[in-house]
Amino acid sequence: MSSLLQRYIFVRRREILLAAKNAITAMDTVSATTAIHRGSAYLGGRSVAKRVAETVTGRMSDHLSHESASEAWQELSHTLPASTNPQVWFMMESLAQAVGCFRASADWGEKGVSALLRSRTPLDRFIGAIQARDSDAATEAFHSLPRDNQAWGDAAHYLWLWSKGAKGEPQWSTDSEWLKVVAGQSITIVGPAPTPKGAPPVPSGSLVARVIAPGVTQWPASDIAGGRCELAYSNSKSTKWFIREGASADLEKLRYLSYRTSSGDALEITHSRVARHHKSLLPMPWDRTNMVPVAAWDLLHVPKAQVSIVASNFFASRTAYTANDVRFDAERNQATDQSGSTGIVFERCVSFSFHNIGAHLNVMANLAASGAVSFDAEGSAVVATSYRDYLAEIDELYGVAKV
């Protein structure tokens, strides 16, 4: 009964977040207020929900400035007891980010991490340790994690990478066809961001992996990788678009195509597969995965592969995409700008909140620190940034202007 109740509570919290964020996207203050008040029992009570609704809608309507809304979020974070369920802390972190208050959301996120570290559940403590960038705490939690836990394999592999092979246990891919292409190879994941003038080109002997999307399946020969893409990664939304548009012929030229979910099987491309992903290592089950980290995590399961990442700034720039890499948003029937926005207020803020970009930074920062994956100079600078400083930068770039 307990597990059923916990599942019900989780589903309700996820529904509340989704309804509130949909209302923020639609700039519908009435629906946002309704969603938050209906979820008051899962947000710390009626008085807390009332203040959250006022802060969210105040930011939407400009009745509250960014500074005032941020102060309200920070003050509110001190009203809940430390014993509050981790899900509540991370819900608040996510809602604060959805209305552009990234700097203030760090207060909630850090308290959520503290709650995870105090949890009786080993997996919670392991995830909390990832977010705290504390390998000793991760090791201690892993030793208590039952081997039959569905996340054990991900935790074992992550700890093995993080500890440089001293702890945990590697979980190598056993896909023989895939391994024929990638095992023992140098692989460079080329992100969508611009690279500085004079940046070294991707070595000709390195396989190139990229994220594909509607309108983004080929690149100019003048780019950092000479326009190459041998290994492509597609998220669920993009894959469904490729299926709907009958784009198999355009994708057949790729040496290997990796999907985020099995929906890609409908394309019937022989040299394709479902990628491994790191969702079980993110703080909350509702957190969505970013695709460059998915590609890295997937490729780090390849024996003797050397994985590097270039042209990925984790959105720590208003120019997150090159002109060639801007996506086509099929739902709105228009291309995004180079920040990734189609012009809708809070569009990127809501997207970042869904994907928990601060958590993704921590996941990748640990792997970079251990040398499991390497970055170019720009990426290295970002992953060396603390969670709080990173969110402060996102705050200035996207939150203040409601991008």
pLDDT per residue over 224-278, tens digit each? 999 999 999 999 999 999 999 999 988 999 999 999 999 999 999 999 999 999 9
Measuring CA to CA, which residue among 58, 54, 9 is closest to residue 36?
54
pLDDT tens track for 81-115: 999 999 999 999 999 999 999 999 999 999 999 99
> Model's pTM, two decimal places?
0.96
Mean pLDDT, to the nearest integer, of 51-56? 98
Gap between the Cα atoms of 256 and 118, Å rounded = 42
Residue 316: its pLDDT value, please? 92
To the nearest 10°, report the CA torsion of 215, 216, 220, 225.
180
Instruction: Identify residue 357 by its one-letter amino acid code.
Output: I
Residue 2: its pLDDT value, please? 58
pLDDT tens track for 338-397: 999 999 999 999 999 999 999 999 999 999 999 999 999 999 999 999 999 999 999 999
Per-residue pLDDT band at 329 (split at 50, 70, 90): confident
Residue with tokens 């710390």: 44
Crossing angle for the helix pair 102-118 and 122-132, nearest 10 degrees? Answer: 140
pLDDT tens track for 134-168: 999 999 999 999 999 999 999 999 999 999 999 99
Mean pLDDT score across all residues of the chain:
96
Q: How far is CA 320 from CA 125, 178, 273, 317, 327, in A?
A: 33, 30, 28, 6, 11
pLDDT above 70: percentage of residues in the chain:
100
Instruction: Identify residue 187 by its one-letter amino acid code.
Output: I
Q: How many helices (H) and strands (E) does the chain have?
A: 17, 9
Residue 1: its pLDDT value, please? 40
Residue 273: its pLDDT value, please? 97
User: Which SS3 state, helix, strand or coil, does residue 306 take?
Assistant: strand
With a cut of 90, say whether residue 61 has pLDDT above it.
yes
Residue 361: its pLDDT value, please? 98
pLDDT tens track for 14-46: 999 999 999 999 999 999 999 999 999 999 999
A 10 A CB-CB count for 23 gives: 22
Q: How far is CA 87 from the centre of its chain?
A: 17
Strand pairing report for 306-310 and 186-190: parallel
Mean pLDDT, to the nearest integer, of 291-296? 98
pLDDT tens track for 165-198: 999 999 999 999 999 999 999 999 999 999 999 9
Per-residue pLDDT band at 328 (split at 50, 70, 90): confident
Structure tokens at 184: 């023992």
Q: Which residues contact 348 (CB under 8 A, 6 or more apart)?
A: 315, 339, 340, 341, 398, 403
Gap between the Cα atoms of 67 and 96, Å rounded = 12
